[in-house]
């Protein structure tokens, strides 16, 4: 049965009064106070209604606390056992999740409940709604400025073993044979026993690990022939073709092997050369969603967009109003606004437009977006400007050659060439269908930089043809050398600190799970945790009262407050005894504290 508690309703009796003023203040000003008062009530528990009956059946665990538990587990990088232990015994977690009763019904959760809730959230991708709800809550609470944002990616690894090509073949074949033996024993018994023994023996993996580098090609060809044999035998049975392990075996053969059709002989499978294996190939049969990056290796990558401020050194002098201080907090606060997980083989250039689309959906589009050159292709910049009204500030990809380009020439406002890098003006510069064509005299042939010049020799002149895209790139390259570009782009480096904090606080670079579904859930929930950690610093600053200014009257009031607090029990007892001993008129003059 669907079971939730209204966390916005106040208690008639304070369930946390037993903590005392100091511990209560510490909880209120910590991340737990922020979580209880603002994050917890905003969680989208209504998205879980389809999984529970409205009134029939046993009540579920309180769903706000369960959804909050999912955030806290990833936020503090805990195992399932560790999360259950903290939920049961940690008073800070009880305060954050608003668990006021300490009986087993409210303050205990089983590992099975934890698994079920995580599976529901990850299967239906509800963690994106949690991220959006937390982001909007923090943005509204602290009046965060999302007008300027920056983007970058970070490589992460799932809980999978790093395998070479030989190890990949052996593990995939062995996994298929084990499943075939378990589910289709008759088909398994018809296989060649020598082939089966080669991979099913207890020492099979250790034997393949002892292969010399000089013999690796021969071993890979042998493995390719075995995979080809298994795919031919298994593909003839429809039930075997539907097995997940057989699909992995078939994928392995497609990506890693090729059939060599010998003249007048039978087809013979051989392993592909290393350079011909695609980057999105299978990396481990335990994690088929992982990819390969030639720069960073196997695993996944996270695309991260965060807001930033160009004036982080806001100082709180204590002379302004509370509204001014809260607005200053919003300027200081930097929030992660977009998180997307993809395999490591994906290129960063394809991630910008989906990120802007997601930001537009969440009403978090910036005016300016800082990114490195991989994101800043001309197509991306034009699409961002025309479709999303976002200015992408990124350097242009540099060329490996030392040849001159349009950026080395002098251009007018329309993009016509006024002078070449050597200062020579063209005879004509005409507009064409795709751009412009500048005609220079044949004197260019005697120029000392002619070998590096982009002009091409013609019958009547030396021509330099360029498109409107070349003009845009040239203007961007020329702008990179200005002080204004340097002043704006220097803030992109701050995203590296975010990646470091992302890993140090939440352990995102080395996850305990495998598969895109589990990795995506963990990464997004950890991003929610980073936002909460950042907001908690501003929350503590906002909730901490300002110390009284020095002076005679504040000092007297502070002394009197300490005196009455320290001696109040003694004076109360004295008042009661005097009231019993003295006459009635004097009894009305008792001390009151």
- Answer whether residue 21 is part of any domain: yes
d(CA 14, CA 157): 45
In the prediction, which pLDDT does 142 show? 94
Give the closest residue to 273 by CA, choosing from 224, 210, 231, 232.
224
Give the per-residue pLDDT at 23.
93
Taking the C-alpha atoms of residue 417 and residue 413, their distance in angstroms, rounded to an integer, is 10
Structure tokens at 211: 């292969």
Q: What is the Cβ-side half-sphere exposure of residue 58, based on CA atoms within 13 angstroms?
A: 3
- How far is the CA of 395 from the CAs of 29, 134, 307, 479, 481, in angstroms? 42, 33, 19, 9, 10
| pLDDT higher than 50, residue 589 | no
Confirm whether 144 is domain-assigned: no
Using the 3D structure, point to which of 95, 124, 153 is the last residue of a domain: 124
556 and 533 in a common domain: no
pLDDT of residue 94: 96
**Model pLDDT, residue 191:** 92
Helix locations, 347-436, DSSP H: 352-361, 378-388
Q: How many domains does the chain have?
A: 5
318 and 378 in a common domain = yes
Residue with tokens 């539907």: 242
With 90 as the cut, is the pLDDT of residue 168 above it? Answer: yes
> Which segments of 76-126 does DSSP mark as H helices, in order?
80-89, 91-96, 104-107, 111-123
Mean per-residue pLDDT of the chain:
88
Query: Is 217 a domain residue?
Result: yes
6 lies in some domain: no
- Structural domain of residue 338, as residue ranges? 291-395+485-543
Please write the tens of the pLDDT for every residue from 253-285: 999 999 987 655 678 899 999 999 999 999 999
Banded model confidence at residue 286, pLDDT cuts 50, 70, 90: very high
Whether 146 maps to a domain, the answer reads no
- Mark whether 170 and 252 lie in a shared domain: yes
pLDDT at 546: 55
Q: Which pTM does this prediction carry? A: 0.85
Residues 174 and 265 in one domain: yes
């Amino acid at each position: 049965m669907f079971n939730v508690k209204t966390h916005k309703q106040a208690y008639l009796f304070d369930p946390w009064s037993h903590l005392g003023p100091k511990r209560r203040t510490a909880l209120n000003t910590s991340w737990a106070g922020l979580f209880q008062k603002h994050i917890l009530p905003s969680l989208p528990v209504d998205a879980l209604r389809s999984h529970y009956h409205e009134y029939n059946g046993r009540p579920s665990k309180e769903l706000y606390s369960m959804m909050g538990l999912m955030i806290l587990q990833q936020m503090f990088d805990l195992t399932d056992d560790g999360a259950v232990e903290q939920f049961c015994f940690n008073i800070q977690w009880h305060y954050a999740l608003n668990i006021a009763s300490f009986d087993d019904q409210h303050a205990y959760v089983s590992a099975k409940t934890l698994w079920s809730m995580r599976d529901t959230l990850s299967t239906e991708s509800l963690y994106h709604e949690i991220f959006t709800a937390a982001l909007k809550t923090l943005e509204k609470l602290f009046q965060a400025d999302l007008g300027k944002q920056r983007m970058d990616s970070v490589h992460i690894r799932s809980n999978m073993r790093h395998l070479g090509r030989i190890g990949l073949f052996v593990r995939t074949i062995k996994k298929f044979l084990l499943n075939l033996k378990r589910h289709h024993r008759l088909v398994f018994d018809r296989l060649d026993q020598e082939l089966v023994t080669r991979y099913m023996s207890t020492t099979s993996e250790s034997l393949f690990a002892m292969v010399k580098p000089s013999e690796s090609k021969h071993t890979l060809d042998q493995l390719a022939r075995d995979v080809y044999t298994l795919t031919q035998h298994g593909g003839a049975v429809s039930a075997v073709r539907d097995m997940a392990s057989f699909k992995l075996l078939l994928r392995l053969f497609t990506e890693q092997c090729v059939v060599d059709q010998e003249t007048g002989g039978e087809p013979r499978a051989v392993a592909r050369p290393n350079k011909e294996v695609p980057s999105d190939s299978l990396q481990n049969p335990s994690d088929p969603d992982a990819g390969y990056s030639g720069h960073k290796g196997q695993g996944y990558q996270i695309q991260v967009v965060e807001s930033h401020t160009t004036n982080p050194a806001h100082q709180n002098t204590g002379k302004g109003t509370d509204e001014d201080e809260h607005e200053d907090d919003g300027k200081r606060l930097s929030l992660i606004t977009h998180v997307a997980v993809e395999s490591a083989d994906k290129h960063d250039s394809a991630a910008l437009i989906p990120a802007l689309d997601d930001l537009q959906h969440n009403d978090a589009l910036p005016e300016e977006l800082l990114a490195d050159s991989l994101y800043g292709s001309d197509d991306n910049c034009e699409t961002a400007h025309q479709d999303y009204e976002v200015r992408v500030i990124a350097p242009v990809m540099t060329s490996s050659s030392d040849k001159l380009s349009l950026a080395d020439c002098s251009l007018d406002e329309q993009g016509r060439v006024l002078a070449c890098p050597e200062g020579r003006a063209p005879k004509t510069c005409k507009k064409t269908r795709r751009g412009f064509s500048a005609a220079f005299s044949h004197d260019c042939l005697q120029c000392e930089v002619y070998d590096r010049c982009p002009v091409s020799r013609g019958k009547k002149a030396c021509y330099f043809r360029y498109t409107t895209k070349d003009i845009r790139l040239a203007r961007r390259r020329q702008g990179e050398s200005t002080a204004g570009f340097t002043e704006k782009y220097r803030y992109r480096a701050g995203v590296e600190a975010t990646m470091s904090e992302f890993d140090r606080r939440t352990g995102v670079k080395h996850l305990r799970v495998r598969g895109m579904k589990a990795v995506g859930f963990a990464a997004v929930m950890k991003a929610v945790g980073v936002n909460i950690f950042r907001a908690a610093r501003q929350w503590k600053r906002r909730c901490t009262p300002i110390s009284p200014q020095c002076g005679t009257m504040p000092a007297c009031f502070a002394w009197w407050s300490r005196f009455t607090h320290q001696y109040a029990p003694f004076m109360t007892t004295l008042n009661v005894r005097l009231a019993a001993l003295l006459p009635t008129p004097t009894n009305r003059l008792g001390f009151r504290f």
